[in-house]
Amino acid sequence: MKTVRFKATINNRPVDLLIAPNRRLLDVLREDLGLTGTKEGCGEGECGACTVLLDGRPVNSCLVLAPEASGRRITTVEGLAEEGRLHPLQEAFLEAGAVQCGYCTPGMLLVAKALLDKHPQPDERAIKTAISGNLCRCTGYAKIVAAIRLAAARLAGGKGAQAGSGCAKEQKGPGLPVSAGLRVVGKSPPRVDGVAKVTGCARFAADLKLPGMLYARVLRSRTPHAVLRRIDAAEALTLPGVVAVYTAADIPGQNSTGIIVKDEPVLVAIGGRIRRVGDPLALVVAESEEVAEAALAKIKVEDEELPAVFSALAAISAEAPKVHGNSNVQSVTRIKKGDAEAALAKAQVVVSRRYTTQMTEHAYLETEAGVAAVENDLLTIWVSTQNPHYDRREVARVLGLGQHRVRVVQAPTGGGFGGKLDISVQCLLGLAAWKTGRPVKMSYRREESIIASPKRHPFVIDYTSACDGEGRLLAVKVRIIGDTGAYASYGPATLKRAAVHATGPYEVPNVLIESFCVYTNNPTAGAMRGFGVPQIAFAHESQMDLLAQTLGIDPFTIRLRNCLKTGSLTATGQCLEAGVGIAETIRRVREKARELKMLEK
């Protein structure tokens, strides 16, 4: 391929390279120069994780062709600290607690620097406007805004902070002496990995690079329900740089994974069932990611499409297409306390409603990624995960190895929220590295991450509440239908938790609850913050408001009359012996509402 000269000043140092004319600035920084502090989150200029300063102006480096930046001055996060001292912005981010997963931090710091260079004393509105193109999925932005204001004050006073020497030291971060003991309680000690994250030294999974490394990509199904009849990779194997194409026939151990039920194939086998768009069919391993991507287009797939079901309500009918076995109902949870039907029949006030909640994407900024390598018959996988011990067990099962021959290292993880508890790249990376004997890297593109990753369960909730004339709860009757998608993942546990929490923080003498975990041909639903409780909380709190409205009493009063207290029995019969703070919480919220004039005194 034709090359062009790329000359620029990067972090105050001259750079002179020969590059392909179509290379992005992001790729040159990360791959050619090793400046991996600049992150790729979306590849479409939407998230801001790849922000750098181009002649002092923030730009999304994923959208800038490297030749366009030639002859210009570029600053990355690695260039913020000078002469061994953290920039006041880096110091402020640490002190204000504005660094969590750290994936958005480099881009956020550079946007903030550009702002303060132009407007040394911005107000809150100016700060929010400046960072509006940079997404953060962890902090809620409040501490980031506070950090930028703190840095502005520091810069006005000319104060900096000592950075320490070298990334290796910074990776460990500041520590607390053992003798500190309980003196840390009530304080905010610095994050142990904070310095590494604000300086760009933290190595996330996609930042890792090993000698002789290969790259892997997955061929995924485009049909939601089918029988796989044929995979022909002959043409793909003729491409220069393609090392191997693996299918289910190449898996030496068990071709199944699953945190609760082993119902998901690592690669769909010939004659096996495709159950969703995005099911993995084949794995390409090549000398470069570009070659691996090109090879995917050369693989021929034949499948026999089957009727699909995309509604959990439709899926529970006898006539619905079956996703697994003879029934789409994966599991059922039932909770009964007292006699709910009798109490409903005698109640003075009864409210019934149907509530629906949507499927939700986790949208962590770091997509799924990992690197695997084999040395002395030990397979090591560095991966973005929330579940390394489970990963190890699954990889060992799939490869037919003893667990003592598999090591999983959790790399710094750029957000997870439950979505990185399931298997993503781990087993496929292990297969590729074990078969080739060479290190292998795989990173999902954003579209692939959205297609393949688990979601929050969408619920359909039929909820009936009954109370007496003073608003004291007498009974609740609840039916929950949860769409777990094509595979169980955490579905059985999520629907069980929803059932257990269906009465909310309230004492109810008569309870009848049923929850159903249902298969469909939708994307798999798994764990997400709250794990089934946010969905049911929407329903039980709406019911309390409706009961209060019907009775003409305020929503705080009805909650205080029914909330759990020490000695209460929950819907499952648990006696709460201590630590029940809901009543005090409600009272304080009521006081604050009155203070803000949101509630009449």
Q: Could you report the per-residue pLDDT of 426-451, keeping only the tens digit for each?
A: 999 999 999 999 999 999 999 999 99
Residues, the chain, total?
601
Q: How far apart are CA 482 and CA 457, in angstroms?
A: 6
Q: Could you report the per-residue pLDDT of 571-597, keeping only the tens digit for each?
A: 999 999 999 999 999 999 999 999 998
Q: What does the pLDDT average to over 544-571?
A: 97
Q: Could you report the per-residue pLDDT of 313-350, keeping only the tens digit for each?
A: 999 999 999 999 999 999 999 999 999 999 999 999 99
Output the pLDDT for position 180: 42
Residue that is written with structure tokens 């909640």 in the block? 357
Share of residues in the chain with pLDDT > 90 (%): 92
Rounded to the nearest angstrom, the gap between the alpha carbon of residue 321 and the centroid of all alpha carbons in its chain is: 31
Output the pLDDT for position 157: 82
Alpha carbon separation from 54 to 9, 61, 426, 501 (Å, rounded): 10, 9, 37, 52
Could you tell me if 359 and 343 are in contact, meaning their C-beta atoms sit under 8 angstroms apart? Answer: no
Q: How many CA atoms lie within 13 A of 48 on its CB side?
A: 19
Q: Could you report the per-residue pLDDT of 243-289, keeping only the tens digit for each?
A: 999 999 999 999 999 999 999 999 999 999 999 999 999 999 999 99
Q: How far apart are CA 556 and CA 585, in angstroms?
A: 11
Confidence of residue 185 (pLDDT cuts 50, 70, 90): confident
Alpha carbon separation from 397 to 267, 369, 403 (Å, rounded): 14, 20, 8
Output the pLDDT for position 163: 44
Output the pLDDT for position 161: 47
Q: How far apart are CA 368 and CA 413, in angstroms?
A: 9
Output the pLDDT for position 158: 60
Compute how many other C-beta atoms are within 10 angstroms of the C-beta atom of residue 452: 22
Alpha carbon separation from 50 to 103, 105, 132 (Å, rounded): 10, 10, 14
Q: Is the per-residue pLDDT at 516 higher than 60?
A: yes
Output the pLDDT for position 159: 55
Q: Is the per-residue pLDDT at 167 higher than 90?
A: no
Q: Is the per-residue pLDDT at 51 higher than 60?
A: yes
Burial class (CB in 10 A: 0-12, 13-18, 19+), 597: exposed
Longest dimension (CA), the chain: 84
Q: Could you report the per-residue pLDDT of 355-365, keeping only the tens digit for each?
A: 999 999 999 99
Higher-pLDDT residue of 154, 349 = 349
Q: Is the per-residue pLDDT at 121 higher than 90?
A: yes
Could you tell me if 13 and 73 are in contact, meaning their C-beta atoms sit under 8 angstroms apart? Answer: no
Q: What does the pLDDT average to over 481-489?
A: 98
Q: Residue 230's beta-bridge partner residues?
A: 302
The separation between the first and the last C-alpha atoms of the chain, rounded to the nearest angstrom, is 75
DSSP, collapsed to helix, strand or coil, labels residue 142 as: helix
Q: How far apart are CA 21 and CA 582, in angstroms?
A: 62
418: left (phi over 0), alpha (psi -120 to 50) or beta: left
Q: Give every CB contact of residue 248 below 8 A, 6+ residues apart in sequence.
A: 255, 265, 266, 267, 268, 269, 270, 272
Q: Residue 5's beta-bridge partner residues?
A: 18
> If you average pLDDT over every residue of the chain, what do you get?
95
Could you tell me if 173 and 196 are in contact, meaning their C-beta atoms sit under 8 angstroms apart? Answer: yes
Of 272, 86, 100, the closest CA to residue 165 belongs to 86
79-83, 477-481, 506-510: segment of lowest average pLDDT:
79-83
